[in-house]
Chains A and B, each alone.
Chain A
Amino acid sequence: MIWNPNKECMSREQMRELQGKRLQKLVQYVYHNVPFYRNKMQEMNVSPEDIVTIDDIVKLPFTTKQDLRDNYPYGLQAAPASEIVRVHASSGTTGNPTIVGYTRKDLAVWSEVMTRCLTAFGVTRDDTFSVSYGYGLFTGGLGAHYGVENLGATVIPASTGNTEKHIRLIRDLNITGIACTPSYALYLAETLDKMGIDKSEIGLRVGAFGAEPWTENMRKEIESRLGLKGYNIYGLSEIMGPGVSYECQEQNGSHINEDHFYPEIINPDTLEQLPYGEQGELVFTTLTKEGMPLLRYRTKDLCTLMDGECPCGRTSVRMGRIVGRSDDMLIIRGINVFPSQVESVILEMPEFEPQYMLVVDRVNNLDTIQVQVEVRKDFFSDDIGSMLAMKKRLSDKLKSVLSIAADVRLMEPGSIERAQGKGKHVIDKRKLQ
């Protein structure tokens, strides 16, 4: 099923024309409403009149995560505050989260693109659908929620946590679809086993999985253990949230909602635009956004773009799997974690040496993060209680900064390997093959 064939199956010429018009309008809008972009364009000697077709996008400046941080909280917002009806935030590296404001129209677009995704997954108004992304500042929960409502299915806002209760609801309410991270889906499968409930006792048939990288093997495992078909959904909060792209029944790449989010692949070193089929950094321009529109936002995600017809009938460009990151960001249980966030917490606490190591793993299909820190000689104590209190102080601070729990290991001074030059602070044991 296709929710909006007018847009999803538009001819390529019509789509390019629409994108060109929208880009023109967008550039006028940000030029006059966002000093950051006006200054950048003036420095580059580009005026809004220089943008005529979508191909002119290469004349425009890039936007980076650092730009969002530098303009914290509302510096890149284009719409007046009175037009903003919701704000989401995602974690940043320096303690400043990224703040994204949405206008009423932005939320309507978001619901629309989410509904396209769900429809492509085969969800209909007859489904009962559990949204098991976290609700809150994170875009996952509410983003998926309004898509399900817009589609007309029944939404169960389960959020995360209390997995056993959730499984009872899945069984008792005959929940047929679920949106969550792939690692949470595997955790659900395990809990199901633990509770002694067979997959035949539950009616899940569709899973919308995203917010963290996953593999074909994980898909197979989730599908066989939960008895459903799993689809990839991609998004990022800076651009919108979940719903930027989605798999169709062909599952050969994810269709991008390119009437709203214009994709490019660039060489992350030269910043040159690359042709379809070449691997590079994914860049998005929000063609229709009002609250915080972004020009050529560098996602840091590495992948390829594919054009050409898809047997499903959609004509939109597809993106391949994310094969890596062009920086050191870690995605843990769908949450962005930067080593520098951990560093800033440790540097603030006199009890610890400025040495640390993050060990990331996937245990029982759930991402785990361990933070190893060295206790300074003067802060050792013969009292176990005070050592445990020290550990808890650090755990609590990390939890509030990272939004996820980290397992803190207190180490002896000198026991963490010193890196030469730029410190290597991450050991990622997750195998994404």
Chain B
Amino acid sequence: MFEIIKINLKTGRATIPIQAKNKEEFSVVGNELKNKIKQLLGGRSLHIRQIDAGSCNGCELEISALSNPIYDIERFGIHFVASPRHADVLLVTGPITRQMEPALIKTYEATPEPRIVIATGDCAINCGVYANSYAVSGPLNTIIPVDVNIPGCPPSPTAILQALLSILDRLPKK
């Protein structure tokens, strides 16, 4: 245990700091996001429900990376929730396989308004390499209305955070 504490002291903070100069940087985006969430949601945090609609799991890998100590997305007031009923935002990945389409629609219907839908990754946007397959019903915007696209295969954690920032303007003020 003390070994680790020693290493941690030496390493310093692993998390990317909140004050940074470079506009592109994760923390700048995150900080802006935090302020907006505060402004718009009146201190409430932003709740996201992720839905895998047939992804290759690459997108999931990057979305879960957002929660690791380096990105630590919860510090910006963003929270992944277990139920669509608690969600403000649906983060959908994958080309929407024929066999996930019904479950996706049910989940969408279970999410309270205003539900913001984000197509995450090239697959959700245009089906990527799986386009025109018999087993694919997507892209996402042909099935449910999409508010924001995050391109990339998979999109980087920073890109995902940036997209979250851009949607906040669409949430009703509290």
Q: Please say whether chains A and B are actual partners in one complex.
A: no
Write the residues of chain A forming the contact surface with B, with a CB cutoff of 8 angstroms.
Answer: none
Write the residues of chain B forming the contact surface with A, with a CB cutoff of 8 angstroms.
Answer: none
